[in-house]
Structure 1
Amino acid sequence: MLKRGFDILSAASFLIVSSPVWLVIAILIKAHDGGPVFYRQIRTGLGGRTFGILKFRSMVQNADKMGDYSTADNDSRITPIGRFIRRTSLDELPQLFNVLRGDMSVVGPRPDVPQQRSLYSAEEFDKRNRIRPGITGMAQATMRSAATPEERKRLDLEYVDQASLLLDMKILALTVRQVLTKGGN
Protein backbone atom coordinates (compact mmCIF):
# COMPACT_ATOMS: atom_id res chain seq x y z
CA MET A 1 0.00 0.00 0.00
CA LEU A 2 2.85 2.39 0.86
CA LYS A 3 4.62 1.57 -2.42
CA ARG A 4 1.45 2.20 -4.45
CA GLY A 5 0.96 5.56 -2.71
CA PHE A 6 4.57 6.49 -3.46
CA ASP A 7 4.08 5.45 -7.09
CA ILE A 8 0.96 7.58 -7.55
CA LEU A 9 2.40 10.64 -5.82
CA SER A 10 5.76 10.52 -7.61
CA ALA A 11 4.29 9.71 -11.05
CA ALA A 12 1.69 12.50 -10.83
CA SER A 13 4.26 15.01 -9.58
CA PHE A 14 6.82 14.14 -12.24
CA LEU A 15 4.14 14.20 -14.93
CA ILE A 16 3.28 17.79 -14.04
CA VAL A 17 6.91 18.92 -13.75
CA SER A 18 7.95 17.27 -17.02
CA SER A 19 4.98 18.42 -19.12
CA PRO A 20 6.94 21.13 -21.01
CA VAL A 21 9.47 18.47 -22.04
CA TRP A 22 6.61 16.29 -23.30
CA LEU A 23 5.43 19.09 -25.56
CA VAL A 24 8.88 19.63 -27.10
CA ILE A 25 9.43 15.91 -27.68
CA ALA A 26 5.97 15.49 -29.22
CA ILE A 27 6.57 18.37 -31.64
CA LEU A 28 9.99 17.01 -32.68
CA ILE A 29 8.69 13.47 -33.26
CA LYS A 30 5.71 14.72 -35.25
CA ALA A 31 7.88 17.11 -37.29
CA HIS A 32 10.31 14.33 -38.21
CA ASP A 33 7.95 12.11 -40.18
CA GLY A 34 4.38 13.03 -39.29
CA GLY A 35 3.84 9.69 -37.58
CA PRO A 36 2.39 8.98 -34.17
CA VAL A 37 4.08 10.53 -31.14
CA PHE A 38 3.55 7.51 -28.90
CA TYR A 39 4.40 3.86 -29.29
CA ARG A 40 2.48 1.13 -27.49
CA GLN A 41 3.93 -2.34 -27.05
CA ILE A 42 2.53 -5.39 -25.28
CA ARG A 43 4.52 -6.30 -22.16
CA THR A 44 4.14 -8.79 -19.33
CA GLY A 45 3.20 -7.42 -15.94
CA LEU A 46 1.91 -8.35 -12.51
CA GLY A 47 0.74 -11.94 -12.36
CA GLY A 48 1.92 -12.57 -15.93
CA ARG A 49 -0.91 -10.45 -17.36
CA THR A 50 -0.11 -8.39 -20.43
CA PHE A 51 -0.60 -4.65 -20.80
CA GLY A 52 0.28 -1.92 -23.29
CA ILE A 53 3.41 -0.02 -22.27
CA LEU A 54 3.63 3.56 -23.53
CA LYS A 55 6.76 5.23 -24.86
CA PHE A 56 7.59 8.19 -27.00
CA ARG A 57 8.18 6.76 -30.46
CA SER A 58 11.94 6.67 -31.05
CA MET A 59 11.99 4.54 -34.18
CA VAL A 60 10.67 4.84 -37.71
CA GLN A 61 7.03 3.99 -38.25
CA ASN A 62 6.34 0.22 -38.27
CA ALA A 63 9.83 -0.55 -36.93
CA ASP A 64 8.45 -3.50 -34.97
CA LYS A 65 7.69 -5.20 -38.30
CA MET A 66 11.30 -4.72 -39.46
CA GLY A 67 13.16 -6.62 -36.75
CA ASP A 68 13.01 -8.24 -33.35
CA TYR A 69 12.16 -6.74 -29.95
CA SER A 70 15.71 -5.69 -29.13
CA THR A 71 17.73 -2.89 -30.65
CA ALA A 72 21.40 -2.06 -30.88
CA ASP A 73 22.85 1.44 -30.52
CA ASN A 74 23.45 1.67 -34.26
CA ASP A 75 20.02 0.31 -35.26
CA SER A 76 19.00 2.05 -38.49
CA ARG A 77 15.37 2.06 -37.34
CA ILE A 78 16.11 4.66 -34.62
CA THR A 79 15.30 8.23 -35.67
CA PRO A 80 17.60 11.19 -34.88
CA ILE A 81 15.28 12.46 -32.12
CA GLY A 82 14.91 8.83 -31.04
CA ARG A 83 18.65 8.56 -30.38
CA PHE A 84 18.49 11.58 -28.11
CA ILE A 85 15.39 10.55 -26.15
CA ARG A 86 16.72 7.02 -25.70
CA ARG A 87 20.14 8.23 -24.53
CA THR A 88 18.46 10.52 -21.98
CA SER A 89 15.68 8.00 -21.13
CA LEU A 90 13.06 10.61 -22.04
CA ASP A 91 11.36 7.99 -24.23
CA GLU A 92 10.22 6.34 -20.98
CA LEU A 93 8.25 9.38 -19.70
CA PRO A 94 4.85 8.16 -20.97
CA GLN A 95 5.19 5.16 -18.65
CA LEU A 96 4.16 7.55 -15.88
CA PHE A 97 0.63 6.93 -17.19
CA ASN A 98 1.24 3.16 -16.86
CA VAL A 99 2.19 3.79 -13.23
CA LEU A 100 -0.95 5.84 -12.58
CA ARG A 101 -3.10 3.13 -14.22
CA GLY A 102 -1.54 0.48 -11.97
CA ASP A 103 0.17 -1.47 -14.77
CA MET A 104 3.62 -0.51 -13.50
CA SER A 105 5.50 0.80 -10.51
CA VAL A 106 8.21 3.46 -10.54
CA VAL A 107 10.76 0.82 -9.46
CA GLY A 108 10.64 -2.88 -10.28
CA PRO A 109 11.91 -5.31 -12.89
CA ARG A 110 11.56 -3.81 -16.38
CA PRO A 111 8.55 -5.42 -18.09
CA ASP A 112 9.44 -8.06 -20.65
CA VAL A 113 7.83 -8.60 -24.02
CA PRO A 114 5.89 -11.89 -23.98
CA GLN A 115 8.54 -13.59 -26.16
CA GLN A 116 11.07 -13.22 -23.32
CA ARG A 117 9.16 -15.71 -21.17
CA SER A 118 11.35 -18.41 -22.70
CA LEU A 119 14.34 -16.93 -20.84
CA TYR A 120 12.88 -18.06 -17.50
CA SER A 121 11.96 -21.31 -15.83
CA ALA A 122 8.29 -21.44 -14.80
CA GLU A 123 9.30 -20.76 -11.19
CA GLU A 124 11.49 -17.78 -12.16
CA PHE A 125 8.76 -16.33 -14.38
CA ASP A 126 6.17 -16.57 -11.60
CA LYS A 127 8.57 -15.04 -9.08
CA ARG A 128 9.51 -12.17 -11.38
CA ASN A 129 5.87 -11.29 -11.96
CA ARG A 130 4.82 -11.31 -8.30
CA ILE A 131 5.32 -7.56 -8.27
CA ARG A 132 4.54 -4.78 -10.71
CA PRO A 133 7.22 -4.11 -13.30
CA GLY A 134 8.98 -0.75 -13.07
CA ILE A 135 10.11 2.18 -15.15
CA THR A 136 13.53 1.50 -13.68
CA GLY A 137 15.00 -1.47 -11.86
CA MET A 138 18.20 -2.81 -10.36
CA ALA A 139 19.71 -3.72 -13.74
CA GLN A 140 19.03 -0.27 -15.20
CA ALA A 141 20.33 1.46 -12.07
CA THR A 142 23.59 -0.46 -11.98
CA MET A 143 24.35 -1.41 -15.59
CA ARG A 144 21.94 0.60 -17.72
CA SER A 145 21.58 -1.19 -21.07
CA ALA A 146 24.91 -3.03 -20.73
CA ALA A 147 23.44 -5.85 -18.63
CA THR A 148 23.34 -9.22 -20.34
CA PRO A 149 20.00 -11.07 -20.26
CA GLU A 150 21.43 -13.36 -17.55
CA GLU A 151 22.61 -10.43 -15.39
CA ARG A 152 19.30 -8.65 -15.83
CA LYS A 153 17.37 -11.78 -14.83
CA ARG A 154 19.55 -12.30 -11.74
CA LEU A 155 19.15 -8.68 -10.63
CA ASP A 156 15.39 -8.69 -11.27
CA LEU A 157 14.90 -11.86 -9.21
CA GLU A 158 17.11 -10.46 -6.41
CA TYR A 159 14.97 -7.31 -6.38
CA VAL A 160 11.80 -9.37 -5.91
CA ASP A 161 13.38 -10.98 -2.81
CA GLN A 162 14.66 -7.70 -1.36
CA ALA A 163 12.01 -5.15 -2.43
CA SER A 164 11.51 -2.28 0.00
CA LEU A 165 10.89 1.45 -0.14
CA LEU A 166 14.47 2.06 1.00
CA LEU A 167 15.83 -0.11 -1.82
CA ASP A 168 13.55 1.74 -4.27
CA MET A 169 15.04 5.08 -3.15
CA LYS A 170 18.54 3.69 -3.68
CA ILE A 171 17.62 2.41 -7.15
CA LEU A 172 16.12 5.78 -8.09
CA ALA A 173 19.28 7.60 -6.99
CA LEU A 174 21.48 5.16 -8.90
CA THR A 175 19.26 5.49 -11.98
CA VAL A 176 19.59 9.28 -11.97
CA ARG A 177 23.36 8.88 -11.67
CA GLN A 178 23.41 6.40 -14.59
CA VAL A 179 21.42 8.74 -16.83
CA LEU A 180 23.51 11.78 -15.93
CA THR A 181 26.96 10.17 -16.03
CA LYS A 182 26.66 7.45 -18.66
CA GLY A 183 24.43 9.24 -21.11
CA GLY A 184 22.42 6.09 -21.65
CA ASN A 185 22.57 3.37 -24.24
Structure 2
Amino acid sequence: MKKKVKGKEGEKYLDYRIGLGKRAFDIIFSFLALVFFSPLLILIAIAIKLESKGPIIYSQRRVGTGYDIFTFYKFRTMVNDADKKLSKLSGLNEYLKEERKEHQIENGYKGEKECSDCKRLGKPCSPILFIDGVEICENQYLRLRKLELLQSAFFKMKDDPRITTVGRMLRQLHFDEIPQFYNVLRGDMSVVGNRPLPLYEAEHLTTDEWSYRFMAPAGITGLWQIRSTEVHNPEERIALDNQYAMIAKPWTDFKIVVKTIITFFSFKKASF
Protein backbone atom coordinates (compact mmCIF):
# COMPACT_ATOMS: atom_id res chain seq x y z
CA MET A 1 0.00 0.00 0.00
CA LYS A 2 1.32 3.45 -0.85
CA LYS A 3 2.36 5.51 2.13
CA LYS A 4 1.26 8.83 0.70
CA VAL A 5 -1.77 9.86 -1.33
CA LYS A 6 -2.56 13.32 -2.63
CA GLY A 7 -6.12 14.53 -3.07
CA LYS A 8 -7.19 17.99 -4.18
CA GLU A 9 -9.56 20.16 -2.13
CA GLY A 10 -9.84 23.62 -3.68
CA GLU A 11 -6.25 24.84 -4.03
CA LYS A 12 -4.91 22.66 -1.22
CA TYR A 13 -3.41 19.21 -1.47
CA LEU A 14 -4.02 16.77 1.36
CA ASP A 15 -1.43 14.13 2.17
CA TYR A 16 -2.27 10.89 3.90
CA ARG A 17 0.39 8.82 5.62
CA ILE A 18 -0.05 5.99 8.12
CA GLY A 19 1.84 7.09 11.22
CA LEU A 20 4.22 4.83 13.10
CA GLY A 21 1.86 4.70 16.08
CA LYS A 22 -1.11 3.58 13.98
CA ARG A 23 0.98 1.03 12.11
CA ALA A 24 2.41 -0.36 15.36
CA PHE A 25 -1.10 -0.66 16.79
CA ASP A 26 -2.31 -2.41 13.63
CA ILE A 27 0.46 -5.02 13.80
CA ILE A 28 0.12 -5.73 17.53
CA PHE A 29 -3.70 -5.80 17.53
CA SER A 30 -3.92 -8.01 14.43
CA PHE A 31 -1.30 -10.47 15.70
CA LEU A 32 -3.08 -10.81 19.06
CA ALA A 33 -6.46 -11.20 17.32
CA LEU A 34 -5.18 -14.03 15.11
CA VAL A 35 -3.62 -15.79 18.11
CA PHE A 36 -6.84 -15.38 20.12
CA PHE A 37 -9.04 -16.76 17.33
CA SER A 38 -6.61 -19.47 16.12
CA PRO A 39 -8.53 -22.43 17.64
CA LEU A 40 -11.74 -21.11 16.10
CA LEU A 41 -10.17 -20.72 12.67
CA ILE A 42 -9.68 -24.49 12.35
CA LEU A 43 -13.30 -25.23 13.28
CA ILE A 44 -14.59 -22.63 10.82
CA ALA A 45 -12.44 -24.06 8.03
CA ILE A 46 -13.77 -27.58 8.64
CA ALA A 47 -17.40 -26.36 8.73
CA ILE A 48 -17.05 -24.47 5.44
CA LYS A 49 -15.41 -27.41 3.70
CA LEU A 50 -18.01 -29.92 4.91
CA GLU A 51 -21.00 -27.85 3.81
CA SER A 52 -20.16 -26.83 0.26
CA LYS A 53 -17.64 -27.18 -2.52
CA GLY A 54 -15.12 -24.44 -3.03
CA PRO A 55 -12.21 -22.76 -1.27
CA ILE A 56 -12.25 -22.04 2.47
CA ILE A 57 -10.88 -18.54 1.99
CA TYR A 58 -12.60 -16.14 -0.39
CA SER A 59 -10.28 -13.68 -2.12
CA GLN A 60 -11.25 -10.66 -4.16
CA ARG A 61 -9.48 -7.69 -5.67
CA ARG A 62 -10.40 -4.62 -3.62
CA VAL A 63 -9.67 -0.90 -3.86
CA GLY A 64 -8.08 0.76 -0.84
CA THR A 65 -6.14 3.94 -0.08
CA GLY A 66 -5.53 6.14 -3.12
CA TYR A 67 -7.28 3.56 -5.34
CA ASP A 68 -4.53 1.02 -4.66
CA ILE A 69 -5.72 -2.47 -5.59
CA PHE A 70 -4.90 -5.46 -3.37
CA THR A 71 -6.13 -8.99 -2.68
CA PHE A 72 -8.71 -9.01 0.11
CA TYR A 73 -9.34 -12.14 2.22
CA LYS A 74 -12.28 -13.43 4.23
CA PHE A 75 -13.91 -16.77 4.98
CA ARG A 76 -16.15 -17.91 2.14
CA THR A 77 -19.79 -17.43 3.13
CA MET A 78 -21.41 -17.93 -0.27
CA VAL A 79 -21.71 -20.67 -2.82
CA ASN A 80 -18.81 -20.97 -5.24
CA ASP A 81 -18.80 -18.44 -8.12
CA ALA A 82 -21.23 -16.18 -6.25
CA ASP A 83 -19.78 -13.07 -7.93
CA LYS A 84 -20.80 -14.38 -11.36
CA LYS A 85 -24.42 -14.63 -10.19
CA LEU A 86 -24.59 -11.04 -8.92
CA SER A 87 -25.81 -9.48 -12.19
CA LYS A 88 -28.81 -11.84 -12.26
CA LEU A 89 -29.86 -10.60 -8.82
CA SER A 90 -29.53 -6.84 -9.47
CA GLY A 91 -33.32 -6.44 -9.34
CA LEU A 92 -33.24 -7.47 -5.67
CA ASN A 93 -30.92 -4.62 -4.64
CA GLU A 94 -32.53 -3.22 -1.48
CA TYR A 95 -30.98 0.23 -1.98
CA LEU A 96 -32.59 0.54 -5.42
CA LYS A 97 -35.94 -0.88 -4.34
CA GLU A 98 -36.17 1.43 -1.33
CA GLU A 99 -35.47 4.56 -3.37
CA ARG A 100 -37.93 3.64 -6.10
CA LYS A 101 -40.59 2.93 -3.52
CA GLU A 102 -39.93 6.24 -1.77
CA HIS A 103 -40.09 8.14 -5.05
CA GLN A 104 -43.29 6.46 -6.17
CA ILE A 105 -44.98 7.27 -2.85
CA GLU A 106 -43.80 10.87 -3.06
CA ASN A 107 -45.11 11.87 -6.48
CA GLY A 108 -46.09 8.71 -8.34
CA TYR A 109 -43.90 9.80 -11.30
CA LYS A 110 -46.97 11.74 -12.50
CA GLY A 111 -46.24 15.28 -11.32
CA GLU A 112 -49.60 15.41 -9.55
CA LYS A 113 -48.10 17.62 -6.83
CA GLU A 114 -44.90 19.50 -6.07
CA CYS A 115 -41.87 17.34 -5.49
CA SER A 116 -40.10 17.85 -2.17
CA ASP A 117 -37.05 19.49 -3.78
CA CYS A 118 -39.01 22.23 -5.56
CA LYS A 119 -41.34 22.70 -2.61
CA ARG A 120 -38.32 23.30 -0.39
CA LEU A 121 -37.11 25.95 -2.86
CA GLY A 122 -40.57 27.54 -2.92
CA LYS A 123 -41.16 27.21 -6.65
CA PRO A 124 -43.30 25.04 -8.94
CA CYS A 125 -41.83 22.00 -10.63
CA SER A 126 -40.22 23.13 -13.87
CA PRO A 127 -39.27 21.94 -16.34
CA ILE A 128 -41.35 18.79 -16.47
CA LEU A 129 -39.75 15.86 -18.26
CA PHE A 130 -41.54 12.96 -19.93
CA ILE A 131 -39.73 9.74 -19.04
CA ASP A 132 -41.17 6.39 -20.14
CA GLY A 133 -44.52 8.02 -20.83
CA VAL A 134 -44.92 9.68 -17.43
CA GLU A 135 -44.26 13.20 -16.13
CA ILE A 136 -41.50 13.89 -13.63
CA CYS A 137 -39.86 17.07 -12.35
CA GLU A 138 -36.34 17.53 -13.73
CA ASN A 139 -34.93 18.16 -10.24
CA GLN A 140 -36.39 14.91 -8.96
CA TYR A 141 -35.25 13.02 -12.05
CA LEU A 142 -31.65 14.21 -11.68
CA ARG A 143 -31.71 13.36 -7.98
CA LEU A 144 -33.10 9.91 -8.73
CA ARG A 145 -30.47 9.25 -11.39
CA LYS A 146 -27.72 10.26 -8.97
CA LEU A 147 -29.06 7.89 -6.33
CA GLU A 148 -29.50 5.07 -8.83
CA LEU A 149 -25.84 5.48 -9.81
CA LEU A 150 -24.85 5.15 -6.17
CA GLN A 151 -27.19 2.23 -5.66
CA SER A 152 -25.75 0.44 -8.67
CA ALA A 153 -22.38 0.79 -6.94
CA PHE A 154 -23.52 -0.52 -3.57
CA PHE A 155 -25.43 -3.76 -3.32
CA LYS A 156 -27.56 -4.92 -0.41
CA MET A 157 -29.91 -7.89 -0.57
CA LYS A 158 -32.28 -9.30 2.00
CA ASP A 159 -32.10 -13.10 2.28
CA ASP A 160 -29.38 -13.41 -0.35
CA PRO A 161 -29.83 -16.92 -1.87
CA ARG A 162 -26.08 -17.20 -2.50
CA ILE A 163 -25.24 -17.32 1.23
CA THR A 164 -24.68 -20.78 2.72
CA THR A 165 -26.00 -21.91 6.11
CA VAL A 166 -22.54 -21.81 7.69
CA GLY A 167 -21.89 -18.52 5.92
CA ARG A 168 -25.02 -16.93 7.37
CA MET A 169 -23.89 -17.88 10.87
CA LEU A 170 -20.38 -16.55 10.26
CA ARG A 171 -21.79 -13.25 9.03
CA GLN A 172 -24.09 -12.86 12.01
CA LEU A 173 -21.12 -13.38 14.35
CA HIS A 174 -18.73 -11.38 12.11
CA PHE A 175 -16.31 -14.33 12.13
CA ASP A 176 -16.01 -14.23 8.34
CA GLU A 177 -13.90 -11.06 8.65
CA ILE A 178 -11.14 -12.60 10.81
CA PRO A 179 -8.78 -13.34 7.85
CA GLN A 180 -8.59 -9.61 7.18
CA PHE A 181 -6.19 -9.29 10.10
CA TYR A 182 -3.74 -10.97 7.73
CA ASN A 183 -4.36 -8.10 5.29
CA VAL A 184 -3.53 -5.68 8.10
CA LEU A 185 -0.26 -7.47 8.88
CA ARG A 186 0.65 -7.29 5.18
CA GLY A 187 0.03 -3.54 5.17
CA ASP A 188 -2.91 -3.68 2.76
CA MET A 189 -5.34 -2.43 5.40
CA SER A 190 -5.56 -0.87 8.83
CA VAL A 191 -7.71 -2.02 11.75
CA VAL A 192 -9.70 1.23 11.50
CA GLY A 193 -10.50 2.90 8.20
CA ASN A 194 -12.98 2.86 5.33
CA ARG A 195 -14.04 -0.47 3.91
CA PRO A 196 -12.07 -1.44 0.78
CA LEU A 197 -14.50 -1.67 -2.13
CA PRO A 198 -14.79 -4.25 -4.91
CA LEU A 199 -13.67 -2.92 -8.30
CA TYR A 200 -17.24 -2.72 -9.63
CA GLU A 201 -18.22 -0.45 -6.72
CA ALA A 202 -15.11 1.74 -6.68
CA GLU A 203 -15.32 2.55 -10.39
CA HIS A 204 -18.54 4.50 -9.68
CA LEU A 205 -16.89 6.66 -7.01
CA THR A 206 -14.30 8.64 -8.93
CA THR A 207 -15.77 12.18 -8.68
CA ASP A 208 -14.36 14.77 -6.27
CA GLU A 209 -17.51 14.48 -4.15
CA TRP A 210 -17.22 10.74 -3.65
CA SER A 211 -13.51 9.98 -4.00
CA TYR A 212 -12.43 11.69 -0.78
CA ARG A 213 -13.12 8.45 1.11
CA PHE A 214 -10.08 6.93 -0.60
CA MET A 215 -7.79 9.41 1.17
CA ALA A 216 -8.25 7.36 4.36
CA PRO A 217 -6.76 3.90 4.95
CA ALA A 218 -8.75 0.82 4.04
CA GLY A 219 -9.95 -0.74 7.29
CA ILE A 220 -11.74 -3.65 8.92
CA THR A 221 -14.01 -1.34 10.91
CA GLY A 222 -14.88 2.34 10.80
CA LEU A 223 -17.57 4.98 11.30
CA TRP A 224 -19.97 3.32 8.88
CA GLN A 225 -19.74 -0.04 10.66
CA ILE A 226 -20.51 1.32 14.14
CA ARG A 227 -23.33 3.53 12.82
CA SER A 228 -24.82 1.14 10.28
CA THR A 229 -28.28 1.29 11.87
CA GLU A 230 -28.32 5.05 11.17
CA VAL A 231 -27.40 4.66 7.50
CA HIS A 232 -30.38 4.39 5.16
CA ASN A 233 -28.86 4.98 1.72
CA PRO A 234 -25.50 4.98 -0.08
CA GLU A 235 -25.15 8.79 0.15
CA GLU A 236 -25.13 8.61 3.95
CA ARG A 237 -22.61 5.78 3.85
CA ILE A 238 -20.21 7.75 1.65
CA ALA A 239 -20.71 10.84 3.84
CA LEU A 240 -19.49 8.84 6.86
CA ASP A 241 -16.52 7.54 4.87
CA ASN A 242 -15.62 11.09 3.83
CA GLN A 243 -16.08 12.26 7.42
CA TYR A 244 -13.61 9.67 8.68
CA ALA A 245 -11.07 10.75 6.05
CA MET A 246 -11.25 14.28 7.45
CA ILE A 247 -11.22 13.52 11.20
CA ALA A 248 -9.01 10.40 11.35
CA LYS A 249 -6.78 10.55 14.41
CA PRO A 250 -5.68 8.16 17.22
CA TRP A 251 -8.47 9.13 19.64
CA THR A 252 -11.12 8.64 16.94
CA ASP A 253 -9.65 5.22 16.07
CA PHE A 254 -9.61 4.22 19.74
CA LYS A 255 -13.31 5.04 20.18
CA ILE A 256 -14.20 3.15 17.00
CA VAL A 257 -12.24 0.07 18.14
CA VAL A 258 -13.93 0.10 21.57
CA LYS A 259 -17.43 0.42 20.05
CA THR A 260 -16.62 -2.33 17.54
CA ILE A 261 -15.47 -4.72 20.29
CA ILE A 262 -18.64 -4.01 22.30
CA THR A 263 -20.76 -4.66 19.20
CA PHE A 264 -18.80 -7.81 18.35
CA PHE A 265 -19.15 -9.48 21.75
CA SER A 266 -22.78 -8.40 22.20
CA PHE A 267 -23.54 -9.93 18.75
CA LYS A 268 -25.36 -6.77 17.68
CA LYS A 269 -26.00 -6.12 14.03
CA ALA A 270 -23.22 -4.22 12.31
CA SER A 271 -21.94 -3.88 8.77
CA PHE A 272 -18.42 -5.24 8.38
Normalised to the residue count of structure 1, the TM-score between the two structures is 0.91
In structure 1, stretches of 5+ residues that fail to align are none
Task: Confirm whether residue 135 of structure 1 aligns to residue 220 of structure 2.
Answer: yes
In the alignment, what sits opposite 1:56?
75
Give how far 1:151 is off: 1.3
**CA deviation profile, 1:53-98 (whole Å, cap 9, x unmatched):** 1010000011111115735240111000100111111110000010
Task: Confirm whether residue 8 of structure 1 aligns to residue 27 of structure 2.
Answer: yes
Aligned pair in 2 of structure 1 residues 156, 14: CA closer, same or farther (>3 Å)?
same
Q: Distance in 2 between matches of 1:146 and 1:73?
A: 16
Q: Distance in 2 between matches of 1:60 and 1:172?
A: 31
In the alignment, what sits opposite 2:180?
95
Q: Distance in 2 between matches of 1:52 and 1:79?
A: 23
Q: Distance in 2 between matches of 1:65 and 1:145?
A: 31
In structure 2, stretches of 5+ residues that fail to align are 1-19, 88-153
Aligned pair in 2 of structure 1 residues 121, 49: CA closer, same or farther (>3 Å)?
closer
Counterpart contact for 1:141–1:175, Cα < 8 Å = yes
Range that drifts further, 77-86 or 45-54: 45-54
Task: Give RMSD over aligned pairs.
Answer: 2.0
Q: Distance in 1 between matches of 2:40 and 2:179?
A: 11
Aligned residue pairs, count: 185
Give the one of 32, 37, 41 matched to 2:60: 41
Q: Distance in 2 between matches of 1:71 and 1:37?
A: 23
Give how far 1:44 is off: 0.4
How is 1:1-185 mapped onto 2 (pairs within 5 angstroms)? 1-68=20-87, 70-143=155-228, 147-179=232-264, 180-184=266-270
Normalised to the residue count of structure 2, the TM-score between the two structures is 0.63
Structure (1/2) with the larger helix percentage: 1
Task: Percent identity, please.
Answer: 39
